[in-house]
Amino acid sequence: MDVNKLDWKRFLGTASDRPFDADQYAHWRWYWDFGSGAMTDLFVHWVDVAHWYLNDDQPRRATATGVKALLQQRQTPDTMSAALSYSKAIVEFDCSLLGYIEGGGLMIRGTKGAMRLHRSGFEVYNEVPRYTEAFVTPPVALKENSPRDGDLDHMKNFLDCVRSRETPTAPVEVGVAAARAGHAANLAMRGNGVWTA
């Protein structure tokens, strides 16, 4: 990157003036002046699925906490946990940039089973017959692999809708609702740990 060609003042926008900082420029998502951390970066890519499934995109309450366990130079937490209450369910989000053993995705839990949804497909697990602390992952009851990343389908749909003026599969309201949920969790985390609508 050629710093001499970068308009740092323009990048700062309405944020307070400061000397050029390569980390803030490259990792802007993790600074409050430019982004809102994991809740509006990682979380929004999955909470929209929960909203669709629940047919509810209005969290009533959020609790959240976070720490900077690894990336001290950044402003937003690199490790956090949030729970958002909706009319019929709680959507939980746990994030740590310390490791990636579980990868990204969404776990939908019910009384008879659970489904892990991720970019390459999903797996369904039957509920274990009784509670045990000697947990072993149950066998997969149903598995579906996606032949391609859904991002391509979303981009194609968006471009097709630009041409046709049709409403895309994920209209702007879906993104606004997902961002609103992320902001509710951040308000809880940056406040007293609780946000209420």
Cα–Cα nearest to 121, from 151, 156, 149: 149
Any domain includes 6: no
Any domain includes 14: no
Predicted pLDDT at 125: 95
pLDDT tens for 148-161 read: 777 788 899 999 99
Predicted pLDDT at 185: 97
Any domain includes 130: yes
pLDDT tens for 173-197 read: 999 999 999 999 999 999 999 999 9
Any domain includes 5: no
CATH number of the domain enclosing 56: 3.30.360.10
pLDDT > 90 fraction of the chain, expressed in percent and rounded: 76
Task: Supply the range of the domain harboring residue 110.
Answer: 21-196
Any domain includes 165: yes
Any domain includes 70: yes
| Cα–Cα distance measured from residue 178 to residue 49, given in angstroms and rounded to the nearest whole number | 9
Cα–Cα nearest to 60, from 193, 195, 178: 195
166 contacts 28 by C-beta, under 8 angstroms: no
The tally of domains found in the chain comes to: 1
Predicted pLDDT at 136: 82
Predicted pLDDT at 51: 97
Q: Which residue has the higher pLDDT, 128 or 61?
A: 61
Q: Which residue has the higher pLDDT, 75 or 153?
A: 75
Q: Give the model's confidence band at 99: pLDDT under 50 very low, under 70 low, under 90 confident, else very high.
A: confident
**Model pTM score:** 0.88
Any domain includes 73: yes
Mean of per-residue pLDDT scores for the chain: 92
| Cα–Cα distance measured from residue 170 to residue 156, given in angstroms and rounded to the nearest whole number | 12
